[in-house]
């Protein structure tokens, strides 16, 4: 098994020698130790065995790792111990916490069998400079991507965290996995330094709509009001959300179709969200063309460090307009499309969303 030289060097620098250890394997059963186990089977015909998922772990002080034990017979209780709790402690469910530099052997035992894992612990090296390869990125559900932390010195210890594990997870090496629609901040930390990346995870058809809030226009005057719209406001009804801009010819051309849908069915909510780009012309266009419309006109917002519209990206926008998303009454996405849409197609999609 590979043992990185830089990690071993850290241990040597701490003047703590690492002893050699035997290969992990279940210990032989001694029938004489347990009068109820005369055949080495744990009393039920199955041979005792314990197998850990890892036989070697490298940690820095303050870090931890979850060990798991496969036990035969299944369901038997596992006892966990550490040979040196000043180096590493272990909980009753196998979570190892690094508390001091050095080495410790963690043992999992059940019945007459046991297995071990050697744990090496070193002091973390603090960075004097830290930068991430990206400050923001967009992912789709199921995508894996990696962030790179550029640090000085090169062997500085970097830890990773995410503000929302239901949106994106991050590994100890900066590997990201998009698990839910929304936004999350991934942060790399080394000593007193930290750098963050804002991650957008686009939803897909069948997923629950991510939450967002946009400011609503007064259709008659075209002015922004203090009212807001969020997807929770239209739960129980089919919702059509259209992202548009006055600078976009196809956007303006298809708005009458959305206006017609909004006026025909009171069980359908139509929300037209204008981009933060070139929004100065939006008020007059709304007031002149849709003063009495049932459409809820709204203004998108721009998240900190984001490259463009907040709600637009949260609902799968890829930089092109128009973009339309349809939700069923439960708030699940039933349709998502970038490009123009006709009234007939829109009406059919709304009917489908109603079920």
* pLDDT tens, residue by residue, 113-171: 999 999 999 999 999 999 999 999 888 888 899 999 999 999 899 999 999 999 999 99
Three-state SS at 344: helix
> Which of 7-11, 298-302, 321-325 has the highest average model confidence (pLDDT)?
321-325
Of 74-83, 186-195, 295-304, 308-317, least confident by mean pLDDT is: 308-317
**Mean pLDDT score, 46-61:** 90
Which residues, at least 6 apart from 302, have a Cβ–Cβ distance to it below 8 Å?
276, 308, 309, 310
In terms of pLDDT, which residue wins out, 85 or 212? Answer: 85
Q: How far is CA 94 from the centre of its chain?
A: 25
In terms of pLDDT, which residue wins out, 37 or 136? Answer: 136
Q: What are phi and psi of 105, to 5 degrees?
A: -105, 120
pTM of the model: 0.56
**What percent of the chain has a predicted confidence (pLDDT) above 90?**
66
Compute the residue count for the chain.
355
Q: Given a cut of 70, is residue 192 above it in pLDDT? A: yes
Query: Strand 56-60 and strand 113-122: pairing?
Result: parallel
**Mean pLDDT score, 62-89:** 93
Burial of 173 (0-12, 13-18, 19+ CB in 10 A): exposed
């Amino acid at each position: 098994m590979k043992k990185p030289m830089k990690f071993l060097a850290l241990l040597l620098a701490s003047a703590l020698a690492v002893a050699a250890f035997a290969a992990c394997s279940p210990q032989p059963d001694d029938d004489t130790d347990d009068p109820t186990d005369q055949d080495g089977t744990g009393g039920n015909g199955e041979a005792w065995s314990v197998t850990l998922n890892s036989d070697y772990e490298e940690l820095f002080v303050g870090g931890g790792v979850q060990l798991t034990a496969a036990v035969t017979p299944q369901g038997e209780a596992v006892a966990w111990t550490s040979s040196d709790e000043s180096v590493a402690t272990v909980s009753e469910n196998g979570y190892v916490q690094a508390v001091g530099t050095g080495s410790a052997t963690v043992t999992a035992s059940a019945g007459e069998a046991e297995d071990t894992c050697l744990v090496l612990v070193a002091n973390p090296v603090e960075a004097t400079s830290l930068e991430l390869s990206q400050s923001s990125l967009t992912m789709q559900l199921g995508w894996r991507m990696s962030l790179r932390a550029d640090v000085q010195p090169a062997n500085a210890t970097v830890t990773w965290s995410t503000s929302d594990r239901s949106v994106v997870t991050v590994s100890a090496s900066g590997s990201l996995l998009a698990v839910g629609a929304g936004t999350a901040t991934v942060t790399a930390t080394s000593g007193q330094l930290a750098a963050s990346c804002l991650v957008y995870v686009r939803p897909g058809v069948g997923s629950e709509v991510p939450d967002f809030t946009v400011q609503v226009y007064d259709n008659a005057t075209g002015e922004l009001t203090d009212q807001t719209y969020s997807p929770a406001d239209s739960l129980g009804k089919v919702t059509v959300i259209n992202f548009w801009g006055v600078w976009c010819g196809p956007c303006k051309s298809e708005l009458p179709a959305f206006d017609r849908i909004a006026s025909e069915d009171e069980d359908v909510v139509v929300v037209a969200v204008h981009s933060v780009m070139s929004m100065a012309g939006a008020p007059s266009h709304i007031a002149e063309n849709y003063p009495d419309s049932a459409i809820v006109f709204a203004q998108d917002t721009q998240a900190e460090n984001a490259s463009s519209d907040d709600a637009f990206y949260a609902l799968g926008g890829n930089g092109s307009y128009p973009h339309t998303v349809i939700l069923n009454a439960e708030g699940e996405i039933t349709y998502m499309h970038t490009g123009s849409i006709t009234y007939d197609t829109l009406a059919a999609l709304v009917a489908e969303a109603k079920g």
